[in-house]
Amino acid sequence: MLGDGADPAQARLDPRLAESFHTVALYEERYVLLTGVADKLARRPTTTWTEASRLPLCLLTTSMQGRRVLDDVFAGLGLRPTPRVETDSVASLFAHVRAGRWASIVPYAWLHVFGVPHGMQAVPLVEPDHSAPIGLVAAAREPGSVIARALVETARRTDTAAVLERLAHPPGS
């Protein structure tokens, strides 16, 4: 999507993108361990990446950027977990965890799509506290499409991080 520069895309922000693209930061992506409520780690307020690496994991395939981010975090800790299941679908990660045999590591923002399904717990990962900036990326060419300009302007006026937090903690919860 970013290759031809025709359409805006949501992507991890990298300072090198600013040379050829307009970027608008949206939120900081954090990661959670998604596991069954019966797992001992599900009863804790946080868990470490090291502890998560020891679980029977279901992860995205290594061809996907989201998996490469996880592998980089694990490598920084000197770890190389071997997932029992790999998929190219975040929805499949949730389905496999729901089956009760595996755990997964998913971006926090995906909880707003799927929620935390019954029988599962999302536990924030720490040590290290890893986050990555996510933003809107659009070609820096002029005049650019009307839709791309409108989307970038809307993104600049919207506090996406606050919206995600409100979804995670609705009033009265």
Indicate whether 6 pLDDT > 70.
no
CA nearest neighbour of 106 among 28, 29, 44, 48: 29
Indicate whether 147 pLDDT > 60.
yes
| Cα–Cα distance, 151 to 140 (Å, whole number) | 14
In this prediction, residue 114 has a pLDDT band, given cuts at 50, 70 and 90, of: confident
- Per-chain mean pLDDT for the chain: 85
Indicate whether 77 pLDDT > 60.
yes
Query: Residue 5 has what pLDDT?
Result: 47
Q: What is the mean pLDDT of residues 37-47?
A: 91
Query: Residue 133 has what pLDDT?
Result: 87
Residues 61/86, Cβ–Cβ less than 8 Å: yes
Query: Residue 14 has what pLDDT?
Result: 78
Q: What is the mean pLDDT of residues 156-161?
A: 87
Q: Could you tell me where the beta strands, DSSP code E, fall in 37-161?
A: 47-48, 58-60, 85-87, 104-107, 120-126, 131-139
- Cut 0.85: pTM above it: no
Residues 102/38, Cβ–Cβ less than 8 Å: no
Residues 37/121, Cβ–Cβ less than 8 Å: yes
Residues 34/105, Cβ–Cβ less than 8 Å: yes
CA nearest neighbour of 139 among 1, 25, 6, 26: 6
| Cα–Cα distance, 141 to 5 (Å, whole number) | 9
Query: Residue 105 has what pLDDT?
Result: 96
Secondary element (H or E) of residue 68 = helix 65-76
Query: Residue 70 has what pLDDT?
Result: 94
In this prediction, residue 128 has a pLDDT band, given cuts at 50, 70 and 90, of: very high
The CA distances from residue 127 to 60, 69, 82, 134, 161, in Å, are 21, 15, 19, 21, 22
Query: Residue 2 has what pLDDT?
Result: 42
Indicate whether 160 pLDDT > 70.
yes
